[in-house]
Amino acid sequence: MFAAVDVHYPPSGGARAALVLASDATYSTIVSEKTAFIEHVAPYQPGEFYRRELPPLRAVLLDAGCLDLLIVDGYVTLDPAGRPGLGGYAHAEFEVPVIGVAKTRFTPAVHAIPVLRANAARPLYVTSAGIPPADAADLVRTMTGKHRLPDALRRADHLARG
């Protein structure tokens, strides 16, 4: 099973996490979708975003079963030395290969591989753990969808926003 996740923070408080499960690595066959709401989340702290994101991800992944891959919206590593981002903490906690797909460039992450999809002028920035970076970038490049952001991540974002 291949999972794509995202988390949204409604203005009313809490966090809603979304999970899109597929039976193939290109996410062309979606087999399940799920959301989970957490009432209380940690406040945002620069450099410690994972403290805010991991609890909702735990909730939505609780019954997901054995995963072959997890794709997160964000970075796996924040710099070439391997300082973990959300995806790095998810890799350690869930013990699954993780690909991070970021929509914006994080200056210290010079190791992130820029990936252009469709006719997009702006790249996505791909990092990974448990899967070689070049393979992760190739997978993101070939994921289902005609837009800059692959369909599975677009769907997870939509579900997380409610």
Handedness of CA 138, 142, 145, 148 (dihedral sign): positive
Average pLDDT, rounded, for the chain: 95
Its pTM stands at 0.95
> Could you tell me which residue, 21 or 51, shows the higher pLDDT?
21
- Please check the confidence at residue 48 and state whether its pLDDT lies above 80: no
- 87-144 pLDDT, tens digit per residue, is 999 999 999 999 999 999 999 999 999 999 988 999 999 999 999 999 999 999 999 9
pLDDT for res 145: 96
- Please check the confidence at residue 46 and state whether its pLDDT lies above 80: no
Q: How far apart are CA 148 and CA 22, in angstroms?
A: 19
- pLDDT interval class at 43 (50, 70, 90): confident
- Give the ranges where 35-101 is alpha helix by DSSP (H): 49-61, 86-94
Domains with residue ranges and CATH for the chain? 2-161 (3.30.2170.10)
Name the 3-class secondary structure at 14.
Answer: coil
Within 8 A by CB and 6+ apart from 152, the residues are 4, 20, 22, 27, 30, 71, 143, 144, 145
Using alpha carbons only, what angle is made at residue 75 by residues 156 and 133, rounded to the nearest 5 degrees?
105
- pLDDT interval class at 42 (50, 70, 90): confident
pLDDT for res 117: 95
Using alpha carbons only, what angle is made at residue 135 by residues 133 and 141, rounded to the nearest 5 degrees?
105
